[in-house]
């Protein structure tokens, strides 16, 4: 039986603020039912008037909102993460709306890519390692299987922007 929105929002206990971007705030939280640590990304939902302004020919912001008031980049991220399942890609565990936000619940990772790069590569003599060859059954292969043709990652934070062929957003 599926939990209703109110139950889903009460399922998580906020523990710590992790960061904030233009469209979202990320928190460390505890899932009360499984007693596991998760990351919750609260996406700020715009107003329908913002979407109306875009449709009427106003200057179009980079991450414009859909007619529902939801940021289109966030919609793409949710759609993609619901399809991707790989051990080396942080998983989307849950997604639900509450009040004027959309909350995405992710597996929690103690650090980010930038911290790992600083820890392992910043004090080494010589050039920083370049791109590695794709591994069979690696995260890049999982992206190719889903026909994802472009990927842009922010080193800090959880935001991912993707383009997928055959889908129009």
Number of domains in the chain: 1
SS (HEC) of the chain: CCCCHHHHHHCEEEEEEEEECCCEEEEEEEECCCCEEEEEEEEECCCHHHHHHHHCCCCCCCCCECCCCCEHHHHHHHHHHHHCCCCCCCCEEEEEEECCEEEEEEECCCCCHHHHHHHHHCCCCCCCCCCCCCCCCCHHHHHHHCCEEEEEECCCCCCEEEEECCCCC
Domain assignment present for residue 4? The answer is no
Domain assignment present for residue 28? The answer is yes
For residue 139, give the CATH number of its domain. Answer: 3.30.200.20
Closest listed residue to residue 54, CA positions, set 46, 132, 42, 19:
46
What average pLDDT does range 63-79 have in this prediction? Answer: 70
Structural domain including 98 reads 10-118+133-164
Domain assignment present for residue 142? The answer is yes
Domain assignment present for residue 3? The answer is no
What average pLDDT does range 7-33 have in this prediction? Answer: 90
Percent of the chain with pLDDT over 90: 21
Task: Compute the Cα dihedral for 23, 28, 32, 33 and give only its sign.
Answer: positive
**How do residues 117-168 score in pLDDT, each as one tens digit?**
777 776 666 655 555 545 556 666 666 666 555 544 444 444 444 433 333 3
Question: How confident is residue 83, by pLDDT bands cut at 50, 70 and 90?
Answer: confident
Who wins on pLDDT, 161 or 104? Answer: 104
> Per the annotation, does 146 bind a ligand?
no
Domain assignment present for residue 64? The answer is yes
Domain assignment present for residue 139? The answer is yes
Domain assignment present for residue 47? The answer is yes
């Amino acid at each position: 039986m599926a939990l209703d929105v109110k139950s889903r929002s009460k399922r998580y206990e906020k523990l710590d603020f992790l960061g904030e971007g233009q469209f979202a705030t990320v928190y460390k939280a505890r899932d009360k039912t499984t007693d596991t640590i998760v990351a919750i990304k609260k996406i700020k939902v715009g107003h329908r008037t913002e979407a109306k302004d875009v449709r009427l020919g106003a200057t179009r912001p980079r991450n414009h909102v859909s007619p529902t008031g939801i940021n289109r980049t966030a919609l793409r991220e949710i759609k993609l993460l619901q399809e991707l399942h790989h051990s080396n890609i942080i998983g989307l565990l849950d997604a639900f709306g509450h009040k004027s936000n959309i909350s995405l619940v992710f597996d929690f990772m103690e650090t980010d890519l930038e911290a790992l790069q600083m820890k392992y590569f910043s004090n080494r003599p010589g050039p920083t390692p370049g791109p590695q060859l794709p591994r069979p059954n690696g995260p890049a292969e999982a992206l190719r299987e889903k026909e994802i043709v472009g990927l842009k990652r922010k080193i800090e934070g959880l935001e991912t922007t993707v383009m997928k062929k055959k889908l129009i957003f």
